[in-house]
Amino acid sequence: MILALLTLGGCAAEDEPAAPAASASAAYPVSAGGVTLDRRPERIVSLSPTATETLFAIGAGPQVVAVDDQSDFPAGVPVTDLSGFQPNAEAIAARTPDLVVIANDINDIVRSLTELKIPVYTAAAPATLDDGFRQWRELGALTGHAAEAADLATRTGAEIDKLVAGLPARERPLTYYYELGPELYSATSTTFVGALLGRAGLANVADPADSAGAAGGYPQLNQEFLVKANPDLIFLADVTCCAQSAETVAARPGWNTMTAVRERRIVPLDDDVASRWGPRVVDLVRAVTDAVAKVPA
């Protein structure tokens, strides 16, 4: 379930793609992300919590008529019983959407909706921040809010750059373990969150566990591996979902020998913020950089 939430909510070029040509008053048709719309969509259905956050952040909220049962931010979004995990074409079509946004093509939903002549934009989990920004810009272009989306990406990038630039220089990078669940699933540097933490100058102890990419960047580690890796920091992205805390981690067999546990460098995160790549990504970076800054250089 943890990994499913990430993919719904956990390779792109490093250079930031140019923004699609559109604006709030742009003439349609507009094409972006493989989708072409003849007119501005006024009945958007979002089956991705990340996309929901982004749509509202760029000013397209009034055009969103329904969101999935996992979308919970911002307050007041039109939550329904629609599912991004088991999308049903008939249930979606009943909302008469003129644009559907998904994170994954589960149940062959793209083909089903396309056959119903409903446009579908796929906002899959990005591998880099720039790829996430590209999604924001494409959603902005499709919804008639290109300028707002571009501005949001620029401001977010600048805030993250400022947070990272404020970190102290170190002779060696700090190491970290990023926990997605108490089953010890983690995210490597090839994932979006791994790339973000890399921006903070951190080295990921999970990388050797999926060096060939067989686990798609989300390997399941084991106690022995982690105790031996001895990370300097532990980030918990399973606080709400799985009731994990500094206390539960410290109580695990053998973990009291880890530097992160001994030095009390276990950092609880907001589960939703930690698993999405929407505008609140700044909050995740701030939590990480705050923790890093507290470690003596």
Using one digit for the tens of pLDDT, what is the confidence trace for 178-235? 999 999 999 999 999 999 999 999 999 999 999 999 999 999 999 999 999 999 999 9
Which domains does the chain carry?
Answer: 2-161 (3.40.50.1980), 169-293 (3.40.50.1980)
> How distant, in Å, are the alpha carbons of 55, 82, 99, 133, 243 from that of 37?
16, 23, 9, 21, 44
**Cα separation, 36 vs 52, whole angstroms:** 20
pLDDT number for residue 15: 35
Confidence of residue 116 (pLDDT cuts 50, 70, 90): very high
| Mean pLDDT value across the chain | 92
pLDDT number for residue 18: 37
pLDDT (mean) for 21-46: 85
Confidence of residue 27 (pLDDT cuts 50, 70, 90): confident
Does 22 have pLDDT greater than 50? no
pLDDT number for residue 289: 98
pLDDT (mean) for 1-12: 43
> How distant, in Å, are the alpha carbons of 2, 50, 217, 250 from that of 54?
21, 6, 24, 36
CB neighbours of residue 76 within 10 Å: 8
Does 255 have pLDDT greater than 80? yes
Quick one: which H or E segment has residue 56? helix 49-57
Does 19 have pLDDT greater than 90? no
pLDDT number for residue 217: 96
Contact 13, 118 (CB under 8 A): no
Does 66 have pLDDT greater than 60? yes
Structure tokens at 275: 């698993």
Q: Give SS3 for 175.
A: strand
Q: Give SS3 for 43.
A: coil
Which residues face 185 on adjacent strands? Answer: 220
pLDDT (mean) for 14-42: 71
How buried is residue 224: exposed, middle or buried, by Cβ count under 10 Å (0-12/13-18/19+)? Answer: exposed
Structure tokens at 128: 């880099």
Confidence of residue 26 (pLDDT cuts 50, 70, 90): low
pLDDT (mean) for 30-37: 97
pLDDT number for residue 71: 97
Edge to edge, the sheet with strand 64-67 lists 64-67, 44-46, 99-102, 120-122
pLDDT number for residue 279: 96
**Which three-class secondary structure string do you get for 130-171?**
HHHHHHHHHHHHHHCCHHHHHHHHHHHHHHHHHHHHCCCCCC
pLDDT (mean) for 56-63: 98
pLDDT (mean) for 20-35: 73
pLDDT (mean) for 81-100: 97
Q: What are phi and psi of 275, to 5 degrees?
A: -115, 5
Percentage of the chain modeled with pLDDT above 90: 91
Q: Give SS3 for 23.
A: coil
Which residues, at least 6 apart from 15, have a Cβ–Cβ distance to it below 8 Å?
130
Does 248 have pLDDT greater than 60? yes
Does 9 have pLDDT greater than 90? no
Contact 227, 205 (CB under 8 A): no
pTM, rounded to two decimals: 0.88
Place of tokens 């003849």: 38
